[in-house]
């Protein structure tokens, strides 16, 4: 910390620090000085971007390479003190010893902004307010950063999202020497195509028809998150199971129908679509077949941020509670079952890494929690 700065911090007026596209972001830059100083200006910047980072081992050169890609969603800066056109040759402005508050106001673009996300090794989607003091000595310009959460508008109430899935069907035949048995068939449907954390996924009906000589042990359901990182033609993909359920179903040659089967959605990051980072979800319903490939149905779904009207009270607090949202963002950073794949070179392997939790304000000075205690000194 520079010797003349006692506190340099950013406070947002919205205590939850959770925003949707199109909303206003208001706050205060707090600067407490130990002595009078000469500065040109104080600037504040609103910035949001997605950034991917993939490590790749180049066999020909026998070394690791890092590929990165970035997509910027918002970048806006303004001066909150001093003239924008002030030149380095000028004497600047005097800020006296003590506390100074500088108000700022930004509007998030009323457009598609992917939700905040924290992955591993620099794979993230971040939105933050940055403030810095411009002085004569460029290498001594203090800077402070405050991150906040953005949730993309993904509304469960839209017709295409609340429409039930059509019944999907899959079947399988089994062969033993010259004999063919079957089919074993499964039919299922979901009640809609988008859900919010805290809601239940309802499988409207699961029908199993077993005309084979294979005993079916169980019907299983699971909610799977798929994360895809892309950087300069390289791809890294991983999957993680967030909810699963098993219903014992001892069948031989029989037909069974299951109704009102549900999966509860835990705290999760919303569906994300950006150039460097994508997060998607699907529900897999499958029959656990001993010594054979499972027979399954896959239902792509969206994890939304605007709950359906009849369940709004259930998930409202979860969506607006910053602790719950942070837990959702962090839950996506737990160990993924990584699979390597590359878009352009089948002979080379993309090396992926396990995410670890990284979330919170980035600050080079005292955090906002220390303002009151520091002022009382």
Q: List the CATH number of the domain containing 299.
A: 2.60.40.640
- Nearest CA to 90 out of 37, 31, 142, 38 is that of 38
Does residue 144 share a domain with residue 231? Answer: no
Does residue 187 share a domain with residue 132? Answer: no
Does residue 368 share a domain with residue 326? Answer: no
Does residue 268 share a domain with residue 170? Answer: yes
Range of the domain at 11: 5-152+359-375
Does residue 117 share a domain with residue 72? Answer: yes
Low-confidence ranges of the chain (pLDDT < 50): 314-315, 322, 329-377
**Structure confidence at residue 225 (pLDDT):** 97
Q: Tokens at residue 155, please?
A: 């509304």
For residues 128 and 151, the answer to whether their CB atoms sit within 8 Å is no
Does residue 274 share a domain with residue 145? Answer: no
Does residue 170 share a domain with residue 246? Answer: yes
**Structure confidence at residue 277 (pLDDT):** 98
How many structural domains comprise the chain?
Answer: 2
**Structure confidence at residue 148 (pLDDT):** 97
With 0-12 / 13-18 / 19 or more C-beta atoms within 10 angstroms meaning exposed / middle / buried, residue 88 is exposed
With 0-12 / 13-18 / 19 or more C-beta atoms within 10 angstroms meaning exposed / middle / buried, residue 264 is middle
**Structure confidence at residue 172 (pLDDT):** 86
Does residue 200 share a domain with residue 53? Answer: no
**Structure confidence at residue 82 (pLDDT):** 87
> Helices 322-331 and 312-320 sit at what angle, rounded to 10 degrees?
80
Instruction: Name residue, tokens 């079957």.
Output: 182
Does residue 243 share a domain with residue 211? Answer: yes
**Structure confidence at residue 340 (pLDDT):** 37
Does residue 270 share a domain with residue 212? Answer: yes
Q: Tokens at residue 335, please?
A: 């160990």
Does residue 64 share a domain with residue 89? Answer: yes
Q: Whole-prediction pTM value?
A: 0.78
Does residue 241 share a domain with residue 108? Answer: no
């Amino acid at each position: 910390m520079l010797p003349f700065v006692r506190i340099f911090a950013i406070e947002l007026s919205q205590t939850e620090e959770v925003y949707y596209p199109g909303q206003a972001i208001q706050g205060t830059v707090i600067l407490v000085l130990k002595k009078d100083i000469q500065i040109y200006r104080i600037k504040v910047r609103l910035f949001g971007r997605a950034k991917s980072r993939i490590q790749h081992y180049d066999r020909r050169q026998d070394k690791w390479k890092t590929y990165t890609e970035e997509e910027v969603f918002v970048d806006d800066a303004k001066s909150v003190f001093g003239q924008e056109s002030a030149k380095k040759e000028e004497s600047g402005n005097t800020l006296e010893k003590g506390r100074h508050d500088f108000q700022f106001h930004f509007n998030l673009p009323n457009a598609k902004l992917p939700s905040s996300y924290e992955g591993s090794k620099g794979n993230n989607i971040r939105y933050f307010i940055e403030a810095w003091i411009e002085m004569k000595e460029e290498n001594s310009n203090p800077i402070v950063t405050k991150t906040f959460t953005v949730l993309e508008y993904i509304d469960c109430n839209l017709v295409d999202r609340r429409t039930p899935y059509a019944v999907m069907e899959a079947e399988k035949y089994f062969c033993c020497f010259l004999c063919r048995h079957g089919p074993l068939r499964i039919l299922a449907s979901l009640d809609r195509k988008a859900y919010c954390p805290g809601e239940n996924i309802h499988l409207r009906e699961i029908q199993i028809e077993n005309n084979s000589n294979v005993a079916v042990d169980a019907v299983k359901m699971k909610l799977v998150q798929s994360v895809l990182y892309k950087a300069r033609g390289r791809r890294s993909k991983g999957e993680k199971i967030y909810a699963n359920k098993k219903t014992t179903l001892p069948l031989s040659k029989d037909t069974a129908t299951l109704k009102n089967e549900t999966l509860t959605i835990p705290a999760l990051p919303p569906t994300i679509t950006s150039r460097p980072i994508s997060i998607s979800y699907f529900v897999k319903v499958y029959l656990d077949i001993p010594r054979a490939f499972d027979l399954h149905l896959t239902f792509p779904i969206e994890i939304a941020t605007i709950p359906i009207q009849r369940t709004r009270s259930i998930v409202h607090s979860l969506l607006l509670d910053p602790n719950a949202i942070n837990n959702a963002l962090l839950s996506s950073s737990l160990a993924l079952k990584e699979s390597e794949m590359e878009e352009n070179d089948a002979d080379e392997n993309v090396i992926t890494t396990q995410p670890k939790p990284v979330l919170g304000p980035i600050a080079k000075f005292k955090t906002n929690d220390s303002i009151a205690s520091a002022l009382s000194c």
